[in-house]
Amino acid sequence: MARNPPPGDGHRVGAVRERSQTYNPHTERWVKRDTETGKFIDQKADPKPFKGVTREK
């Protein structure tokens, strides 16, 4: 049976909390947003989405 490795090994299990991402078609980049305030936090330099961050619809 599979199980998660021990804690403290440098990786996260599951999505980042209180963050979401959405695609900006104007810049063709993914933008990270704080779900509590709605403010934009970060934008990806490449066209790939953020890893482990929930996508908005």
How many domains would you assign to the chain? 1
| The two structure tokens encoding residue 31 | 């933008």
3 domain-assigned: no
Strands 19-24 and 29-34: antiparallel
Whether this model's pTM surpasses 0.95: no
Amino acid found at 10: G
Domain interval for residue 38: 19-55
pLDDT digits (tens, 9 = 90+) for 2-57: 777 777 777 777 888 999 999 999 999 999 999 999 999 999 999 999 999 999 98
50 domain-assigned: yes
N- to C-terminal Cα separation, the chain: 34
45 domain-assigned: yes
7 domain-assigned: no
35 domain-assigned: yes
The DSSP code for 11 is: -
